[in-house]
Amino acid sequence: MVEWRRHFHQNPELSNHEFKTGKLVADYLKSLGLEVRYPIAKTGVVGILRGGKPGPVIALRSDMDALPITERQHVPFFSTAVDTFNGKTVGVMHACGHDSHIAILMGAATVLSKMKNDIQGTVIFLFQPAEEGPPEGEEGGAKLMIKEGALDNPKPEAVFGLHIESNIEVGNIHYKQGGFMAAADQFVITINGKGSHGSQPWKGIDPVIVAAQIIEGLQTIVSRQEDITKAPAVITVATINSGVRFNIIPEQCVMGGTIRTLDSKMQEDIHERIKRTVQDIAASSGATADVVIENKTLVTFNDSALVTTMLPALQAAAGKDHVQPQNWVTGAEDFSFYGTRAPSFFFYLGGMPKGNDPDKAPPHHTADFYIDESGFDVGVKAFCQIVLNYPTLKGK
């Protein structure tokens, strides 16, 4: 698994570009004797292991894509890959642990294929592209996997997934019943002003000033208008693009960002408040503004009955004291879409070196992201315990 992980880490591929990754996975699953569907959802892989005994169908999922980040050289197998992302040349790095997920699920497939005669039912291995989101104008990710029939033949009655975490100590598993990870929405705000010379702002309508006022206004929606005792929420403006020269007031400014919510009613309300705030602030300066909000993921919802049923399997994998509940998080996962087709359970796996301070662990999606590989066996054991115990535990 370490060898696989380091290969993927040194050869990362962006969303919908996982051509070499997908082929390597598909070829390996075929070598294990699995039924393999490849490609699906552009570069994805579905492997099917039919057990030697009758029983239920369940699915295990891994994601495969990397991020447009240039890695700082902290490991000997660091990435030097580059690619094009939204028209820009970027470094490419597995800065979220998807390389670890591939290796762990390949490891689970290896073990389970050798235990085929003891397995009750069927296991679907989902190796999914574009979890981080497909390139602009393309389909991808869990939505496209589902659309192209990854869960149709055979149809699973439960779907399981894990995510390695840089701030949870190796050997540990964390989980939450119900809403676990946030819904993620992307917004684009286009402010239309009036151009002028930089020395004569009174002759124009400055969209940059309007943008600044809107950014301030958006931050009061969560802090002053929403009841955050119900659930947390986040509004982040992450990009702002306007102008070409220091002494020209531009005609337009475009901002982009993300909304994270864990409550559907709050999500709808925040959308309406964003639109009203943006348009009213723009109008107050004589500008106009358009707001487009696009849903990227749903709330990652862990079926409470499924979690309760399968906790003994996770405890068998990691030890009872190493399986702990945790609070919800504002990160998002397109694993959430699988939950619309079958009860699902998504949990966290520790990837932080023992004894380290979680508050000082490099965050996901950063150039310093780091994973300790010594906990991969716990991930494999968790998947295997789920497969081998699901038929018995679900009947209790």
- From 18, 63, 65, 226, active-site residue: 65
Ramachandran angles phi, psi of 163, nearest 5°: -140, 125
- From 131, 132, 206, 263, active-site residue: 131
Rounded (10°) angle between helices 98-114 and 2-10: 140
How many residues in the chain?
396
Strands (E), 243-299: 248-249, 252-261, 288-297
Are the C-beta atoms of 392 and 313 separated by less than 8 Å?
no
Are the C-beta atoms of 255 and 211 separated by less than 8 Å?
yes
Separation CA 263–CA 330 (nearest Å): 11
Separation CA 347–CA 325 (nearest Å): 10
Residue whose C-alpha is closest to residue 21's, from 32, 7, 31, 35 = 7
DSSP-assigned letters across all residues of 81-116? -EEEETTEEEE-B--SSHHHHHHHHHHHHHHHHHTG
User: Sheet holding 173-175: strands in order across?
Assistant: 35-40, 44-50, 120-128, 53-63, 158-169, 344-352, 173-175, 323-325
Residue whose C-alpha is closest to residue 364's, from 166, 205, 219, 226 = 166
**Active site (annotated) includes residue 65:** yes
Catalytic residue numbers read: 65, 131
